[in-house]
Chain A
Amino acid sequence: DTGVSQDPRHKITKRGQNVTFRCDPISEHNRLYWYRQTLGQGPEFLTYFQNEAQLEKSRLLSDRFSAERPKGSFSTLEIQRTEQGDSAMYLCASRGGGTGVGTEAFFGQGTRLTVV
């Protein structure tokens, strides 16, 4: 257990439905990241928060995706009007301040989304 919690672990939804995932980072970590991972690939960056501010978004984050971190603690990732291509593992990671050795990102167990 890394200390990063994600909920739910698995989600099956019908195409066109909206889904929301939650991430609870390690409490003292001010940086939070969302990644998407498809089978056989490495995690792909989606978006990054420092405290409550969303500082970076990937081109992968289409208009149907929105992420929030309202109080600088937990974060939510919502996907609207889901498509089959959204099926993937959605990973959350948190990281403390600074850079370099000892500032690694800790990942949660992920939320596996299946769009049918």
Chain B
Amino acid sequence: GESVGLHLPTLSVQEGDNSIINCAYSNSASDYFIWYKQESGKGPQFIIDIRSNMDKRQGQRVTVLLNKTVKHLSLQIAATQPGDSAVYFCAENPSGQAGTALIFGKGTTLSVSS
């Protein structure tokens, strides 16, 4: 698998590898985080979310890790497939309040080659 220590705008992996996409968030008061996947010409699609009282959450082939100490979020994709190729965004709920807008980070373009 390939990991990214700092945010990089692109990540290229081979089919079957594990992918790790990183995101740094800005507001220490944020208590809710989401990862979205966006394919070309489409709106963002929900992947997985996590609250700040958790440090790890798993879904189907995806895991989100939260490190509040350094305000860092990562998305791990197991056995990456060509259909995973897309732009991935992390989003935070900055004030922890239900009504505020999600703030999006810089995206990472994941390219999966077979």
**Could you list which residues of chain A lie within 8 angstroms of chain B, going by C-beta atoms?**
2, 4, 6, 31, 33, 35, 40-45, 48, 50, 55-56, 58, 91, 93, 97-110, 112
**Could you list which residues of chain B lie within 8 angstroms of chain A, going by C-beta atoms?**
31-32, 34, 36, 41-46, 49-51, 57, 89, 93, 96-107
Of the residues B49, B89, B98, B99, contact of A104 by C-beta under 8 Å: B49
Of the residues A35, A43, A98, A110, contact of B42 by C-beta under 8 Å: A110
Q: In the complex the two chains form, is B44's CB within 8 Å of A107's CB?
A: yes
Q: In the complex the two chains form, is B44's CB within 8 Å of A91's CB?
A: yes
Find chain A residues with CB under 8 A from B89 CB: 42-43
Contacts known (A91-B44, A104-B49); A99 close to B97, Cβ less than 8 A: yes
Q: Nearest chain-A residue to B52 (Cβ)?
A: A100
Q: In the complex the two chains form, is A91's CB within 8 Å of B105's CB?
A: no
